[in-house]
Amino acid sequence: MKTGKFLDLTLTEASRNDQTDASQTVENICENDLILRDMGYFSTSVLRKIEKKRAWYLSKLPASTSIYLDDATEPDFKNLERLMVKSGITKFEMQVFLGENRLPVRLMIGLVPPAVYQERIRRKEAEEKRKGHKTKEKTKILLHFNLYITNTDESQLPIDKIMPLYRFRWQVELFFKIWKSRFSIHAMQKMKEARYITMLYIRLILIVVNLQIVNRLQYILSKQQRGILSYHKTMHTMKDKFDKVVSILRDSSENAVEALEHLFRILSKNHWREKRKGNENFIENIYLFTCISEI
């Protein structure tokens, strides 16, 4: 996430769900990797395999997952919410066990503000109503909290950095939004399957090449403390400068360097990200963390 390098980009069937993907790609995980995933990928069996790989994970905890303090005792979240409000505590952690196989994990519990809780309740009840169900009382209680689980310890990942680190996962969604808005990967006319797949791969290759250029430029500018680039603005310009990108891939080294310098001048001139009050800055926050691969 610091360098912008892609480890893998694979097209799969639309019917393949996230849990299946997590199970089938676990062998690609290397020692000391840190895996950030949303709840759709959650599986205690996969988490155990990640540990066997001597890697690390940070995940949100689904409300449907059983939590135990020991072999049989479950936490009393209703009483916990009351105590946290009374004591003015917004977050703390404990060691717990998950699921039938009692996977030992570190659980971070964060209390959400009342307004956030009310919005969560509204959305959940509307969702359950569409399904013809009623919201379970246990679910209502758990909506008071942000629950994160990890196999890291306090020295590796302090509690105050768990939520800021997990928020980086949202960059995945933002990237897809850019891919759709700037490169229209979701909107192609009807055609034969072979041509469709070819066109899709062409667009993805172009996206990856553009991102490598933009991320390298951002890395240089961050070191010079010159500002944060807007991915929306830069990718829009890179699409318009398609001829320059092609020349980098096809021409001689001398011409490729010249094309890159041209892009550097354009992108570092007026493609800065606008600062919005209250919004966290991904680029600045990611440099608060040190990767083992950088040491």
For 18-53, the pLDDT digits (tens) are 888 888 889 889 999 999 988 888 999 999 999 999
Strand partners of residue 92: 109
Residue 54: predicted pLDDT = 94
Beta-strand runs (E) in the chain: 34-37, 56-60, 67-68, 91-98, 103-111, 145-150
DSSP, collapsed to helix, strand or coil, labels residue 74 as coil
| Distances, alpha carbon 153 to alpha carbons 93, 162, 285, in Å | 11, 11, 20
99-102, long-range: CB within 8 Å, 24+ apart, which pairs? 99/44, 99/65, 99/66, 100/66, 101/44, 101/45, 101/48, 102/68, 102/71
- Say how far apart CA 124 and CA 181 lie, in whole Å: 29
Residue 71: predicted pLDDT = 77
Residue 272: predicted pLDDT = 82
Please give the average pLDDT of every successive group of 10 residues along the chain, which has 295 residues: 73 86 89 89 92 94 88 89 92 92 93 93 91 88 93 91 87 82 82 90 86 81 74 84 82 85 85 69 69 63
- Say how far apart CA 267 and CA 240 lie, in whole Å: 12
Q: Are 213 and 238 in contact (CB under 8 A)?
A: yes
- Say how far apart CA 188 and CA 199 lie, in whole Å: 9
In the chain, domain spans: 1-55, 61-157, 172-294
Scored b (16 or more CB within 10 A) or e, 21-59 reads: bbeeebeebeeebbbbbeeebbbbebbebbeebebbbbb
Instruction: Give the CA angle between residues 178, 248, 193 to the nearest 5°.
Output: 55
Q: Are 27 and 21 in contact (CB under 8 A)?
A: no
| Distances, alpha carbon 100 to alpha carbons 3, 43, 47, 103, in Å | 39, 12, 14, 8
- Say how far apart CA 169 and CA 73 lie, in whole Å: 32
